[in-house]
Structure 1
Amino acid sequence: MDNRVTWQVEHYPTLPSTNDYCIEQARLKSKINLAVLTDSQTAPRGSRGRKWVEPTGNLALSFLYWPTFSVKKVGWVPFIASLALYDAITELCGDYPDLYIKWPNDLLFQNKKIAGILIESHVEYPDILEWLVIGIGLNICSAPVVEGREVACLRDFVHTNLPSSLLVSSKIRERLSYWIGCLDQGKELFIRETWLQRSLPMDTSLSVTSSKKIYTGIYKGINKEGFLLLQTETGLKHLSAGELFCLDQYGNK
């Protein structure tokens, strides 16, 4: 049985924020699964309230999804979103050994960020997951200058047949629909195993800021709940949230 999601696609020359537009539609109770693409955002947002700079020619795409799964599964949404993006890039551009997902949902090429995902949701009391918004920003043609961050774009390593934002958007819609179907069907183990195959190499040295504490250790994957496993000097940590940085051989970010 094919229960993949059908998206209503909207494409605008400019929007303040594709995520904000989707949230507005959700609050208007527009019970339609939307995929919203814009050529330019005037007020894009990143995770943890950061401002996001978006050069022209890159991807700004958000989804409004009315879930059929329970709030207990919402923790897997970052994983299926990053898998959809990873799948889209590799299917359109080919496989690259230095392309990884950084927990839970950033994409890195040679430890440089090429894409980020911002997920927002609304839960009706006490535990009904009403809607989800999944925002995806991908550097296709150029990488913004971000202080203290190494950033890359697809053009840095895809030298022929660089896909357009329209083509990438179409492929992400297809793959996100597939991964939502997997989550609906209770295939969290399959999602976890596939995500681990695409994540950072095991035993990568990491620094993780979580609950205002900084942990340094070795990456050991994720557990069955999607928590980050970090082997530290004081034992194995299970982290449910945090900001992660890869460290070089000298312990530098």
Structure 2
Amino acid sequence: MAPWPDGVGRRVLAEVDSTNAEAARLAPDLSGPTWVLGLRQTAGRGRRGRAWQSAEGNFAATLVMRVPDGPAFAAQRSFVAALALQDALAEATRRPEAIRLKWPNDVLLNGAKVAGILLESSGQGGTPGPLCVGIGVNLAQEPDAGTLEPDALAPTSVLSATGIRITPEEFLDLLAPAFATWETRLTTYGFDPLRRAFLDHAAKLGEVITARTAKDSLTGTFTDIDADGALVLTGAKGRVVLPAADIFF
């Protein structure tokens, strides 16, 4: 296990409404990047305001950090988080071949959703505010599939998929160093190494998928992720670049 990263804080809370909300509240008084881990989360949320169910024993944490380069660069931390989750889950389960990354913000274990990522930020007058990188992992339990949207990917948990028990605190000890490693690669070498690493582990690369935006639904072959992190589909309309979408298999 890698050591805890230098200069990164750690707060473990017995209960919290949302780790992203708590991280945002703490941000003005923090001197550096800090992980906020909630052992019980009562009002977790996912992308586009969806509820995120966080059962007892699951992982709910947020890294709050300053990203001075603007929204486009802040969004690249979704890739940092995904690759860190890949590494942490591989170390926890010893099954790296079972883990895949689903663009833009989910992680799969044996083809089912085990983790999700939510980035939130606020700022004023064009000045970027603190970035909250929220991460939820089904360590002990997966949500009831009947409570999910009809076309949602089937959920799983580390315990049910592998029989391995790991506590939220133990998982944070794996995730924080992995995140720090990928963050250093991003700030040192730029986005391309992360893009290539993500593609190495991307779910359904080279296969036909459906991408839904707020206005449209497109089906095509997942061919690439571009230099800005956008999804590239090739289909009846030719090459289509999608900066944001939900994708379905």
Global fold match (TM > 0.5): yes
Q: Distance in 2 between matches of 1:167 and 1:243?
A: 31
Letter in 2 for 1:104: P
CA contact (8 A) 2:82 2:107 kept: yes
- Alpha carbons of 1:136 and 1:59: their partners in 2 closer, same or farther (altered >3 Å)? same
Number of residues of Structure 1 aligned to a counterpart in Structure 2:
240
Matches within 5 A, 1:78-89: 78-89=78-89
**Structure 1 counterpart of 2:236:** 233
Deviation at 1:25, TM superposition (A): 1.5
Matches within 5 A, 1:94-173: 94-126=94-126, 128-145=127-144, 146-147=147-148, 148=150, 149=152, 150-160=154-164, 162-173=165-176
**Structure 1 counterpart of 2:183:** 180
Matches within 5 A, 1:41-56: 41-56=41-56
Deviation at 1:49, TM superposition (A): 0.2
**Structure 2 counterpart of 1:251:** none
**Segment of structure 1 superposing worse, 213-222 or 182-191:** 182-191
**Segment of structure 1 superposing worse, 140-149 or 226-235:** 140-149
What is the identity percentage for the equivalent residue pairs of Structure 1 and Structure 2?
A: 25
- Alpha carbons of 1:72 and 1:47: their partners in 2 closer, same or farther (altered >3 Å)? closer
- Gaps of at least 5 residues in structure 2 are none
Q: TM-score of the superposition, structure 1-length normalised?
A: 0.88
Deviation at 1:67, TM superposition (A): 2.4
Q: TM-score of the superposition, structure 2-length normalised?
A: 0.90
- 1:242 equivalent to 2:245? Answer yes
Letter in 1 for 2:24: I
Q: Report the RMSD for the aligned CA atoms in angstroms.
A: 1.7
**Structure 1 counterpart of 2:215:** 212
Q: Distance in 2 between matches of 1:208 and 1:98?
A: 23
- Gaps of at least 5 residues in structure 1 are 247-253
Deviation at 1:72, TM superposition (A): 4.0
Q: Distance in 2 between matches of 1:173 and 1:140?
A: 16
Q: Distance in 2 between matches of 1:29 and 1:69?
A: 21
Deviations 1:162-199 (A, max 9, x none): 32211111111111111111221133111111111111
Deviations 1:17-67 (A, max 9, x none): 1110011122x3533321011111111111110112111110011111122
**Segment of structure 1 superposing worse, 48-57 or 140-149:** 140-149
Deviation at 1:137, TM superposition (A): 0.4
Q: Distance in 2 between matches of 1:178 and 1:120?
A: 21
Q: Distance in 1 between matches of 2:97 and 2:185?
A: 26
**Segment of structure 1 superposing worse, 85-94 or 151-160:** 151-160
- 1:198 equivalent to 2:201? Answer yes
Q: Distance in 2 between matches of 1:243 and 1:165?
A: 28
Q: Distance in 2 between matches of 1:30 and 1:187?
A: 26
Letter in 2 for 1:230: L
